[in-house]
Amino acid sequence: MPSSAGLPYEARLGWRYTRAGRATRRNGFISFISASSMLGIALGVAALIVVLSVMNGFRKDVTGRMLSVIAHVEVFSPDGGPLPDPQRTLSEVRANPEVVGAAPFIGAQGLVARGETMQGAIVRGIDPALEPNVTDVAAQLKDTALAKLVPGQFGILLGSDLARKLGVAEGDQVTLIAPSGQVTPAGVVPRLKQMTVVGTFSSGHYEYDSALAMLHIQDAERIFRLDGPTGIRLKLRDLNKAREVTDQLAQTLSGQLMLLDWTRQNRTWFAAVQLEKRMMFIILTLIVAVAAFNLVSTLVMTVQDKRADIAILRTLGASPASIMKIFMVQGALVGVIGTLGGLALGLLIACNIDVIVPFLERLFHASFLPKEVYLINKMPSDPQAGDIVPIAVISLVLSFVATLYPSWRASRVNPAEALRYE
């Protein structure tokens, strides 16, 4: 049987069988099942793309906001006390070509009080001149709030949510309570210091906006009774090389110092996100698999319905392999169309998630991402080829595998048996 228009007759018949059910009532149910399989594959692929894109966007957004407050690498003493020689350590870390910024700091914990309201805080003593070289938040505040952190005046810079909880604004007074107090005949009394709020900052990361307080490093030394900075914060040329640079610095720094890069500092969070992404991929792939294997029932019914056609083709000289190819083409077309439709739908939603989610929130008067729980308050999305290509390949492979058994059954139809009752 010669081919026409460059296509083998198996491909033309497979395409015809895919479309034929729409024209006849007898094949209407088969056509409906075929369309359902196609729609199921499309929805499964779209769901996979949207969910993985949102998880990629969530990880990217939270990481970006996190790194606007924390450093790429931190160097500190093992006992948490002051560095033995901070100037020498600064010189040694700046000698690494990957380090583009370094700033000393004092890290401590304390309580910030305003009247009867009291909140726990991560207290960070910073050098206003060097801190903008390390974090984006400090760089944005370089000529405004940071300029108001003058040693001896005991100014304090609060995260926006921390200031809101305390009910304070710029110019208000708060009390900073240092946990390590002084010993008196009445016991250990915590040290209290009146501070003036010189400004607030917002990183977009709730964990830091609700707990971080910054003051001048010299004021922090006096309040916490320290002789110098407790660590040095570093910014790298390429944040993805943080572990590599950390290992290099561990070999070159003098003294017994500890180093912690941003990936290890938030190791539990990143591991949890990666595990969730992997599990969601597996679960949603099962949805695609269920839809793909609906093709089995579709093709089995099609084969039963086309037994007479198969018998005629066989008597005209078609081989069992050719019959098998016809139904494999039919099933493969359903898988290809469903996969392409799912890719288009998934990318359309993933690329417009920032419009769709706010619309749904206004429609249902609900907040899908309370920032107290999810750290961010907007739905991010970051479609990546590394996720989309495997999704498409898996969907096509599952669809192809689902066609093998029904196609093999079609190739085994006996022409004499099939035509006996025709």
The per-residue pLDDT for range 252-282, each reduced to its tens digit, is 888 788 998 888 887 787 788 788 888 888 8
Q: Are 307 and 354 in the same domain?
A: yes
Q: Are 41 and 88 in the same domain?
A: no
Last residue of a domain, one of 232, 256, 280: 256
Q: Per-residue confidence at 18, pLDDT binned at 50, 70, 90?
A: low
- Rounded to whole angstroms, how far apart are CA atoms 109 and 230? 13
3-state helix, strand, coil in the chain (%, to 5): 55, 20, 25
Last residue of a domain, one of 219, 234, 256: 256
The strand pair at 73-76 and 231-236 is best described as: antiparallel
Q: Are 216 and 304 in the same domain?
A: no
145: enclosing H helix or E strand: none
Tens-place pLDDT, residues 279-298: 888 888 888 888 877 778 77
Lowest average pLDDT, out of 63-77, 126-140, 221-235, goes to 63-77
Q: Per-residue confidence at 410, pLDDT binned at 50, 70, 90?
A: confident
Q: Which amino acid is at 331?
A: G
Q: Are 174 and 235 in the same domain?
A: yes
Mean pLDDT (whole number) for 103-129: 92
Q: Per-residue confidence at 375, pLDDT binned at 50, 70, 90?
A: low
- Rounded to whole angstroms, how far apart are CA atoms 26 and 301? 12
Q: Are 50 and 86 in the same domain?
A: no
Domain count, the chain: 2
3-class secondary structure, 166: helix
Specify the pLDDT at position 310: 77
In a domain, 208, yes or no: yes
> Under a CB-based contact definition with an 8 Å cutoff, are residues 53 and 44 in contact?
no
- Rounded to whole angstroms, how far apart are CA atoms 345 and 148? 51
**Mean pLDDT value across the chain:** 83
Residue with tokens 């319905």: 305
CA proximity to 73, closest of 98, 56, 91? 98
- Range(s) of the domain holding residue 89: 78-256
Taking the alpha carbons of 384, 386, 387, 391 in that order, is the dihedral positive or negative?
positive
Specify the pLDDT at position 1: 41
Specify the pLDDT at position 288: 84
Q: Are 193 and 328 in the same domain?
A: no
Q: Does position 376 have pLDDT exceeding 70, yes or no?
A: no
Q: Are 246 and 317 in the same domain?
A: no
Q: Are 142 and 201 in the same domain?
A: yes
Last residue of a domain, one of 188, 223, 256: 256
In a domain, 262, yes or no: no
Q: Are 119 and 191 in the same domain?
A: yes
Specify the pLDDT at position 417: 67
